[in-house]
A and B are shown apart, each in its own frame.
Chain A
Amino acid sequence: EVVLTQSPATLSLSPGERATLSCRASQSVDNYLAWYQQKPGQPPRLLIYDASNRATGIPARFSGSGSGTDFTLTISSLEPADFAVYYCQQRSNWPRTFGQGTKVEVK
């Protein structure tokens, strides 16, 4: 099973600041990694797929990078709506696995 480790667990930032979230895989997943955003009481929303492709309707301030075992989600300038929990997921191997999540909170 591919274990995805996200860091940090919590990121405390102010609106307008840049957010950098990390996801590390226990083995290579090529570029088969996605990022999801989840707000309280809502289902997850796909942001980035295959490491660097923005999903439909996702603003350009969200970007993804990486391949193999190390991946990054960057939010260039935080908007109030961006404070949420972010999960990475891999589809390189079965079982599909998620990271434990990074909470981006208001400083």
Chain B
Amino acid sequence: EVHLLESGGGLVQPGGSLRLSCTASGFTFSDSAMTWVRQGPGKGLEWVSSVGFNGASTYYADSVKGRFTISRDNSKNTLYLQMSSLRADDTALYYCAKGGFYGFSDNWGQGALVTVSS
């Protein structure tokens, strides 16, 4: 069974940084693209970033480009999202999802809550 567990969320001040992690199990992580999607409070889904199976290819939403970095460590079955220069409108539940590069995201974690506030 596929399992994705996000961690690293929390309260951060505007302008601060945070790193999210997503630990994967139940599938061959190194064969799968991975994606981050976020959902602001009471809002819809927003695609954030995707990374190919080996980390060589990455894509970002314009709203986070230059501030967020997606990466992965296939030896640890872990996906990361390094977030910097955080703003209030980055406040959201951040989901880690399997796939989303050449296909759609067919498995999702429960999400990590990021709150940007002074």
Contact = CB atoms under 8 A, between A and B. Distances in A.
A89 B47 contact: yes
B57 to A, nearest CB: 10
B110 A55 contact: no
Interface in B53-108: 59-62, 95, 97, 100, 102-106, 108
A44 B45 CA distance: 9
A34 to B, nearest CB: 4
A73 B60 CA distance: 28
B104 A43 contact: no
Interface residues of B, number: 23
A99 B45 CA distance: 8
B24 to A, nearest CB: 14
The A interface is mostly helix, strand or loop, or mixed, namely loop
A101 B106 contact: no
A34 B45 contact: no
Nearest to A49: B104
Contacts of A87: 44-45
Interface string A79-107: 00000000101010011111111000000
B100 A100 contact: no
Nearest to B47: A96
Contacts of A38: 45
Which 6 A-B pairs rank lowest in CB-CB distance, beginning with the nearest? A43-B108, A96-B47, A34-B104, A98-B45, A49-B104, A101-B44
Interface of B: 35, 37, 44-47, 50, 59-62, 95, 97, 100, 102-106, 108-111
